[in-house]
Every structure is written in C-alpha cells, then in structure tokens.
Amino acid sequence: MKQNKAFRGAAVFMSLLAAAEAGTSFYFYRRTMTRNHAKTERTMKMAGTDWSQHMPLIEKRKEVMMARPHEDVYTVSFDGLRLHATWFPGDDPTRTVICFHGYTSRGLSDYIGLSDYYFKHGYSMLLVDERAHGDSKGTYIGFGCLDRHDAMKWIDWVIEKQGTEAQIILHGTSMGGATVLMTSGMTLPSQVKGIISDCAFTSAKEVFTHVLRTMIHLPAFPMMQIADLINQKKAGYALDECNAAREVRKAQVPVLFIHGSADTFVPMSMCDTIYENCASPKKKLIVEGAAHAESYYKDTEAYENAMTEFLGGIVK
C-alpha cells in the first residue's frame, strides 16, 4: 500500500513537472518567436550595449539620412507576406547595399551610422524590415532561416530597379548577419558581389541555448526541444534547420566578418566557427572591447577601413 501511494505520488510529481516544463517552454517561445511579444527593450537590456554614449552621433546622422530622398517599397515573400523596405537612392546608379537589421529592430534603426559611409561612396541603400518586424507582415520571426528567402526577393527587386549592371552588397547585423550568411549558401545572381556580416549567430537554437544558460540561468533541455517542435508546427522551420556555419560551406561570394570581443549576447566564438567554415574568400575584423552590434561605433576607423579594403576588391 505504501509503495502504491509512493508510486502515485511520484507519478503526480512527474506530471506536474512535465506540465511546468511545457508551460515554461510555451512562455519562452511566445516571448522570443512572435512579433507581438518579442520586445526591443528586452533585447537591448539582454544585449547589454550602452547606446547612450553613441546617441549624439546617431541622432546627428539620422537627421542627415532622413533629409535625403527616400521612399517606401514593397515585395511579397515566398509564403505570401507583404514585405517592406525603405529605398535611399545613391549617386552611383549601379552600387547598392541591402541592409538587414537585428532581432526586434527595423531597417531604419540599425544602419543610421553606416549610412554616412555608404552615401559618401555612392551607394544606394535598401533598408529592409525583416518579416514580423517593422512594417513587414508576419507573425513568426524567421531568424535568418526564412529571411534568406526574403533576401532573394529583395535582390531581385534591386536588379529589376537598377538593371543587370547592378552591383549588390548584402550587409547584416546580428540576426541580419545570420540572414546574409544563410543567404550565402543559396544560388546568388552574379550581381551580388559580397557579404558583410556583423555579430551574426550560428543558428536560433544555439543562440537561444546560450542566452538560456548564461543570462536566464535555465537549462536548455527540454525547453529548446519543446520550443523547436512548436516552431516547426507554427512557423514551418526547425530552430537549427539553417545554421550559418553550415550554409557558408557553400558560399561563393567574398565575406567580411566583423565581431566585438566583448559581445556577451552573441559570443565571438560563433563568429570564429562560421569563419572557419566559410568556403569563399574571407576577411575578419575583431573590434576589441565592442559589445553586441557596437563595433562600428567603438572603432569607426577600423570598421570603415575594413569595409574599404573589402569592397575595393569586389565593387567597381
């Protein structure tokens, strides 16, 4: 009798534990993977970058950038979502950079500083709102896996806009960096000349596992496995289905990797892993002391010199 009671008690405990794990996993999934619950403020806090010190420069460059002629443009994703971007024409009719922002950000936010460099060098800028961000439609965040297909649509848009003489650079930051690196594994048109990746992660699964263990102090198992099953059902892709470190093994265009040594949100080791796997010509810049997505502002000269050297070899 006592053994039966103990067994029933253990069964009830395990059922409650399983329910708690499932509930926590659903909560984690909703907070991170759906547009209405993934919050910019929470992302910025977890990333730990002190943006207040850079705001005077950002505000100054934003004023200059927004004073330039620009327009809202749209395309439709492979799965029927209306996608939005902002188009800034440049002085050179062939040079264009397509920019992909970070998690919970938007196109007009992440490239304010870099707009100064690109406009001075004649580039048009297409600032993309990735799916489920900004003015693009979508409920579930793509974490590069779905966004790489959207990137192909934007590449086609630029070629149609500028013609076959277009020279296109893909530039991505954080989740945008993962997007452009995952795009590198696809069959790119000849107009795409190179890729710049700033603080990219390897995959959604690996960066979530890192955040759970180091910042939230929760075990990744079984939370990640449950979240992965939910995402496959709702968003249509597995959290490690697209891994930048695997995709760059198929890369054929040159890649410039940039990462901050003090990045705790996306560890520098992910950059090293992706770099080692990259099959195409590659360069790497590590900015000492730079936190997540801070490299350009931490050492603007080194960042721009790396871009000039990289782009000078591939864009006419």
Tell me if 84 sits within 8 A of 72, measured CB to CB.
yes
Tell me the mean pLDDT in the region 179-202: 98
- pLDDT for residue 309: 98
Tell me the mean pLDDT in the region 241-264: 97
Q: Tell me how many domains the chain contains.
A: 1
7 pLDDT more than 70: no
**Each residue's pLDDT tens digit, 16-41:** 333 444 555 555 677 788 888 888 88
Provide the residue range defining the domain that includes 84.
34-203+242-312
Q: What is the DSSP string of 159-181?
A: HHHH-TT-EEEEEEETHHHHHHH
- pLDDT for residue 23: 54
Q: Classify residue 225: in a domain, yes or no.
A: no
Q: What is the DSSP string of 263-316?
A: -SSS-HHHHHHHHHH--S-EEEEEETT--TT-HHHH-HHHHHHHHHHHHHTT--
CA–CA separation, 108 and 106 (whole Å): 6
**Each residue's pLDDT tens digit, 196-234:** 999 999 998 999 899 888 877 667 777 788 888 988 999
CATH at 40:
3.40.50.1820
Tell me if 78 sits within 8 A of 131, measured CB to CB.
no
pTM summary value: 0.91
Which stretch of 60-74, 108-122, 233-247 has the lowest confidence by average pLDDT?
233-247
Q: Classify residue 84: in a domain, yes or no.
A: yes
| Residue 216 DSSP symbol | I
* Residue % of the chain over a pLDDT of 90: 76
Q: Classify residue 285: in a domain, yes or no.
A: yes
11 pLDDT more than 70: no
| Residue 92 DSSP symbol | S
258 pLDDT more than 90: yes
Q: Classify residue 217: in a domain, yes or no.
A: no
Q: Classify residue 10: in a domain, yes or no.
A: no
Q: Classify residue 179: in a domain, yes or no.
A: yes
Would you mind telling me the total number of residues written for the chain in this entry? 316
Q: Classify residue 143: in a domain, yes or no.
A: yes
Tell me the mean pLDDT in the region 271-277: 98
Tell me the mean pLDDT in the region 250-276: 98
Q: Classify residue 214: in a domain, yes or no.
A: no
